[in-house]
Amino acid sequence: MIKKILTYTILLSSLLSHTGCDKEALASPEGAVAEPDKEYYLSSELLTSVPKSMLQSVASSQGYATYSTHIKYGVSVYKVIYSTSYQGQDIKASGLICIPQGITTPAPILSAQHGTIFTDSEAPTHFTGLSGFELFAAAGYVTLIPDYIGFGESKDVFHPYYDQKHSALAVVDMIKAAKAFAEEQDIQVNDKLFLAGYSEGGYVTLAAQKEIETNPAHGLKVTASAAGAGGYDLTAMLANVMSGQPYTYPSYLAYVLQSYIYTNNWNRPLTEFFQEPYASKMPLLFNGQNSGGAINRGLTTEPKKLFAPAFFEGLKDVGKERALKQALQANSFLDWVPQSPTRLYHGTADNIVPFENSKITYDRFKAGGATKTELIPIKDGTHGSAFVPMLQDMVPWIQSF
């Protein structure tokens, strides 16, 4: 899960305002992408407005006085519902749009992708206080924080975890909705578009960047992209699993596998993938109420004991479990090279998503001709500790554009 920029402890309930503005959704052809006449923006609701002085005070009181110099505006936070697609059908999704208050010049857009979450209560639109991403808005960026498919408005869908297509569209379609929202609210935005994310958010960031760069019909252009600690090469992650070594966060493994089962409509029972008692536990563990830690405690850190024996052995056989292997390959970044300025950040001591995953992805990008991609190793950084150093490097880099 993404580490917060700030740990806000103040209660904001007295600031909450509930003015909504709704628009009717228009029907669109099944499975269409980048339809020029489609309405992506459906409705919005103002959740809170936080003045500049409060943001500066909280930043200083929490030991982040350095960031106070970047706080130039108060922030208004809106919940936005928009249209995206899942399995070729239009569905409603949600996210936050954070607006710099009183900004007089056209603002750039920054889409910030959060890390892995397991409960719907962790979704950004379950707003209980500031997450930290709002500081980008305080610095003058119209900041988007998508829930992702499977959370918020689309919580009845099993989250398509590490699924490239649905990850990308959840972000790209929200960017389009945000532009329509800005026009309705008379908020001026410029053509600069930044993408940033960590952990799953790093993966989602590259997925959105790839979708934008390879599909001109979206009408978008990425100014710069910063991705941290994502599992960009899922085939390499599979090789680590097949080694049989203990994996300290088994909920991630179970999450990916179930995501592919449901997203791809594989008509196979969970008992073909997981041993008992874990197969029977999965629906209860992944019911949207349990944290990653709680799910880990209900599983085992030994892949050989977690996965069904025939399935585990099939992973080692080239001719078996081909659907899964093809899905992992299709959802890895194996045949695309970033065109926009891109930075990959990763802690060298990450034992959840190994640093080597970013390194082999970076090497593949460079071999493919990438000239604007950099790899930024964070020495001794773990999956939990590397985000803040990434932020410290990323903020001035983004501001340089």
Q: Give the DSSP letter string of 12-52.
A: -GGGB---EEE-------TT--S-TT---EEEEEEEEEE-H
Report the amino acid identity of residue 166: H
Collapsed DSSP state (helix, strand, coil) of residue 313: helix
Yes or no: say if 83 and 93 are a contact pair by the CB < 8 Å rule: yes
Phi then psi dihedrals of residue 284, to 5 deg: -75, -40
CA dihedral 286, 295, 328, 275 (to 10 degrees): -90
pLDDT score recorded for residue 65: 67
Collapsed DSSP state (helix, strand, coil) of residue 342: strand
Q: Percent helix, strand, coil in the chain (nearest 5)? A: 40, 20, 40
Give the Cα separation of 223 and 164 in Å (integer): 21
Tell me the domains of the chain and their CATH numbers. Answer: 28-232+336-399 (3.40.50.1820), 234-330 (1.10.260.160)
- Structure token digits, residue 43: 């409705």
Sign of the CA dihedral with 70 first, then 75, 81, and 83 last:
negative
Nearest-5° Cα angle at 140, 136 to 144: 50
Q: Nearest-CA neighbor of 66 among 293, 396, 312, 353? A: 396
| Helix pair 278-285, 250-263: axis angle to 10 deg | 80
CA dihedral 313, 315, 319, 320 (to 10 degrees): 80
Q: What does pTM read for this prediction?
A: 0.90
Give every residue of the chain whose pLDDT is below 50, as ranges: 1-33
- Structure token digits, residue 120: 């719907």
Instruction: Please report which residue ranges of 93-233 form alpha helices under DSSP H.
Output: 134-138, 164-184, 200-214
The answer, yes or no, to whether the previous bond of 106 is cis (omega within 30 of 0) is no
pLDDT score recorded for residue 245: 86
- From the number of C-beta atoms within 10 Å of its C-beta (0-12, 13-18, 19+), residue 243 rates as exposed
Give the Cα separation of 34 and 152 in Å (integer): 23
Tell me the longest C-alpha to C-alpha distance in the chain.
62
pLDDT score recorded for residue 304: 93
pLDDT score recorded for residue 69: 79
Report the amino acid identity of residue 170: A
The number of angstroms, rounded, from the C-alpha of 93 to the middle of its chain's C-alpha atoms is 14
Q: Which residues contact 240 (CB under 8 A, 6 or more apart)?
A: 247, 354
Instruction: Please report which residue ranges of 62-163 form alpha helices under DSSP H.
Output: 65-68, 134-138
pLDDT score recorded for residue 64: 61
DSSP for residue 159: P
Give the Cα separation of 210 and 339 in Å (integer): 9
pLDDT score recorded for residue 24: 32
Give the Cα separation of 34 and 194 in Å (integer): 19
